[in-house]
Chains A and B, each alone.
Chain A
Amino acid sequence: MTLLEVENLHTYFETREGTVKAVDDVSLKMERGDSLGLAGESGCGKTTTMLSIMRLLPSNGKIISGKINFDGIDMVSLDEDELRRKIRWKRMSMVFQGAMNALNPVFRVGDQIVQAIVSHENIEKEKAWARVEELFQLVGIDPNRAKDYPHEFSGGMKQRAVIALSLALNPDLVIADEPVTALDVIVQAQILELVRELINKLNISMILITHDLSVIADTCNKAAIMYAGKIVEQGDIMTIFKSPEHPYSQGLLTNYPSIKSERMRFTPISGRPPNLINPPSGCRFHPRCPFAMEVCSKKVPETIELERGHYIACHLKTN
């Protein structure tokens, strides 16, 4: 069953330098129970895509066109009040980047979660506290620590608490933006284990945004690769990671250092991602693409379905 469908989303930012086309014609689809990894370099529009879905764009950002259908609800036209009462946190929640700093230092951790619960649901404080204790158990923190302040928590515990906060109202979809980037490797492995376990146990769906491809390979069942405001390839995890077809995905993956592979010299993709005020014509990747043809600088490649569920936007495949 489809949980989230994004069609031809365009989100632009107005800046002094001009209009930044941060998300330009993005389409995504995920089923209930999917965990989708959204990968790409900084500034490719992955966070903006998610902020558009949550309708949390800063004031200079705007959804210009496109559809976001979340479980039958049209998210683009939903008014702010209804969004706040019915959708945000209750149906769809977010684990923000730098979760280490997402907790308010002057309130007890448990109180912050209680606050989130009682402001969305009409329940008594005691019941909300009981829920906090359950949540702590679920994410692997001793429930007695709920009365601690954030500074009494270690980095890994803060991350667990932020995950508990995102699950406080049993959402259908959790969006996690770089959830493990700031953590040490062993703590990262602990959190990734927890995330995999929660996906299985609670049957939630998740979108995981990261530039770290190995984190996606480790936790997700689907992946989408984003470049300069567009999704260039998406499909199930095995297809994307084992036989990527887009030259950009291939470039990212063959260069990805793995602890299991033989020692090698890397061959990075040359050049840098473009400025999104004046993106390159045609395919946005063509200035960096080793296989660029004449058509690539002239025509924007259409997204086609190569095999079932495997989408790609590249002239090499359409011609």
Chain B
Amino acid sequence: MSSKDKLVVIENLKKYYPVRMGLLQSLRSKERLFVKAVDEVSFHIKNGEIYGLAGESGCGKTTTGKLILNLITSTSGKVMFKGEDILSLKKGGIKEFRKRAQIIYQDPYESLDPRMTIFDFVSEPLIVHNIGDIEKRVEEALETAELTPPREFFYRFPHELSGGQRQRVAIARAMILNPEFIVADEPVSMLDVSIRTSILNLMMRLRDEFDISYLYITHDLATAKHICDRIGIMYLGKIVEEAEVEELIDNALHPYTQALIAAVPDPDPSVEKSKAIIKGEIPDPIHLPTGCRFHTRCHYMKDICMKVEPEIKEVSEGHRIACHLY
């Protein structure tokens, strides 16, 4: 594949947060402690693709999404958007970049300003970027997000809308600058299951109609299976496995991916029940396990797993994995 098809290329991205310590503690301890929220993450997102980044809470998936949009400063690494290094952009460059890349947040009850009308909220990016024809554009954006008739929503406030409608408003705001790329951070996890599918359908329609690429951040592999093209699985700041969606679900190789898949309950009562293959919960991110970060919960743990951190490598076309078993 030529680099032209790659919209976003992420290379060795890192975000370390220093751990705050008291004075006495900092005098006593020899080394500075860090939470390695994102550690040497590399992947790419193709044009028109929905790339799913999945994992449990605290695995670094949201931080990765924010780093890619330069919403937080990275510790090191590169994010290339159409060949341009996003992380080294100056203020004006970042502003231009914001027109092309947007974000939809998880909780539409929190992400909408309760004191702003829908019109003000959706039109705000236009004002920031000094773009005219506001009324017409807001109308179009609301229509794009399937809030019809759009004018009826103009002067309403968020509290008058349902969760699904609020998320559509957030999508309208993200769409108003005609972006090419959207980071969707758990966009449906706060919504009722019956509304989830209509929001996911909307996202896929936007991809088809406006050629939008997504980074879809989720903990729900069942919805990811139906909307994503490729999926990367994260554990404690690292991508441990990545493949095309069907390959990943049907032929998961990493013990952690296998455990995630087995844990998903199915709406069919006649199939096998959900299973918790691995015990315990994610370890403390400040004191990461040595070697492979997953070794403390892994059933296939060997000596080497405690000592050497496995590198991610390609085992078949497009299927990458970081595990000493392979």
Contacts and interface: CB of A to CB of B under 8 A. Distances in A.
Interface in A64-98: none
Given A214-B222, A218-B273, A255 B265 contact: no
B193 A212 contact: yes
Given A186-B56, A189-B274, A259-B249, A213 B267 contact: yes
Contacts of A242: 268-270
B191 to A, nearest CB: 9
Interface stretch (A126-134, A198-206, A263-271): A263-271
Interface stretch (B1-9, B28-36, B169-177, B254-262): B254-262
B197 A257 contact: yes
Interface stretch (B75-83, B99-107, B122-130, B275-283): B275-283
Contacts of B276: 186-187, 189-190, 193
22 contacts: A41-B195, A184-B57, A185-B221, A187-B276, A193-B274, A211-B192, A213-B267, A218-B265, A218-B274, A242-B268, A242-B270, A255-B197, A257-B196, A257-B197, A257-B225, A258-B266, A258-B268, A265-B201, A265-B204, A266-B197, A268-B197, A272-B164
Given A189-B276, A214-B266, A257-B226, 14 more contacts: A186-B278, A189-B274, A190-B276, A192-B273, A211-B192, A211-B194, A217-B265, A217-B269, A253-B267, A257-B196, A257-B225, A260-B266, A263-B225, A272-B162
B190 to A, nearest CB: 10
B257 to A, nearest CB: 11
Contacts of B26: none
A154 B245 contact: no
A45 B200 CA distance: 26
A298 interface: no
A293 interface: no
A266 B271 contact: no
A33 B194 CA distance: 30
B178 interface: no
Given A257-B223, A268-B197, A185 B271 contact: no
Given A213-B193, A257-B225, A259-B261, A266 B201 contact: yes
Interface residues of A, number: 42
Interface string B214-248: 00000111110110000000000000000001100
A211 B193 contact: yes
A300 to B, nearest CB: 23
A29 B270 CA distance: 23
A218 B222 CA distance: 15
B304 interface: no
Contacts of A151: none
A263 B245 contact: yes
A217 B268 contact: yes
Contacts of B261: 259
B264 interface: yes
A196 interface: yes
Contacts of A259: 221-222, 225, 249, 261, 264, 266
Contacts of B111: none
Interface string B182-198: 00000000001111111
B216 to A, nearest CB: 13
Contacts of A255: 194, 197
A215 interface: yes
B134 interface: no
- A-B interface, 5 closest residue pairs, ranked by CB to CB distance from nearest: A189-B263, A266-B197, A218-B265, A189-B276, A214-B265
A154 to B, nearest CB: 5
A189 B275 contact: yes
B263 A258 contact: no
B57 to A, nearest CB: 5
Nearest to B281: A154
Nearest to A157: B281
A34 to B, nearest CB: 14
A214 B163 CA distance: 21
A186 B222 contact: no
B269 to A, nearest CB: 4
B273 A196 contact: yes
Nearest to B228: A263
Contacts of A154: 281
A3 interface: no
A237 interface: yes
Contacts of A269: 194
Contacts of A41: 192, 194-195
B271 A260 contact: yes
A155 interface: yes
A188 interface: yes
A268 B270 contact: no
Nearest to A192: B274
